[in-house]
Structure 1
Amino acid sequence: MPNGVCASHGGKTGAGLRWHRLQPPNPSHSRAAQKAERKLRDQLRKSKERAARLAQMTPEERQAYEEWQRSHQPGDPKRRAADRARRQRDREAGELIRQERPPSPRSAERAALVAQIEALERKNAEADAASAPSIFD
């Protein structure tokens, strides 16, 4: 599409801030009003077709479609690029969180130390109980 015209339907496709947005016809064109009406009619027809297609989707298909919509928002290219990078980072972070990690050697060492401390505390409590003076002695 070096000249900006789509090979499928012959219309220009907006780029940059106008990407995937309805393009109004050139007002100086002799048939500008007719073109605008046709574009609005086409948009209405497409929205009705989309609504019917969405009504027939399974929940999984609907979720995939909504994910696609979130990833293909019209507007500022910089914002779209930042959103794309954020989604990629979120996916990577989610994968890291879901990964099974083997127990670290430090956690085993820590557990052994905690067990030793508890054993010493029990021993200390027993010694205190045995050496405590009683009023009945």
Structure 2
Amino acid sequence: MENGKCFIHGGRTPRGEHWHRTQWPDGKSPDAEKKLRRKLAEGARAANKRDARLAAMSPEERKRHAAWQAARKHGSAAARQRARSERKQTAEVRAMLSAPRPAPTGEASELESQIAALRAELDARRLDQQKPTGAFA
């Protein structure tokens, strides 16, 4: 829900890595044991229902179900999208880094020689500025 509370039990909905885990009752509440028994019974009912559904599947359906389950990861849709985006960017960077560098063109080699000349001139100017002057020269 928009307010962050579950419409079924009124509590906050778990977020992040814990969204799919059973939320156990707080042991300090007066009816904690009752809530715990109810949670355990619900879990057992869900497991029995899931086992019955899987047992009723044909081998082909079971194979498709296993493939479907293996293709889906836990977590929020945003986290899965972020992971997909990061994998795509990583693949693009690897492809760029593994691609051979193009041979320099005539214009590029001319620019590189001009850059080298300017750097040499700059180094010469720095050396001139570092020479001592006055009584220490």
In the superposition, the TM-score normalised over structure 2's length comes to 0.47
Instruction: Determine which structure has greater relative contact order: mean sequence separation of CA pairs < 8 Å that are 6+ residues apart, divided by chain length.
Output: 1
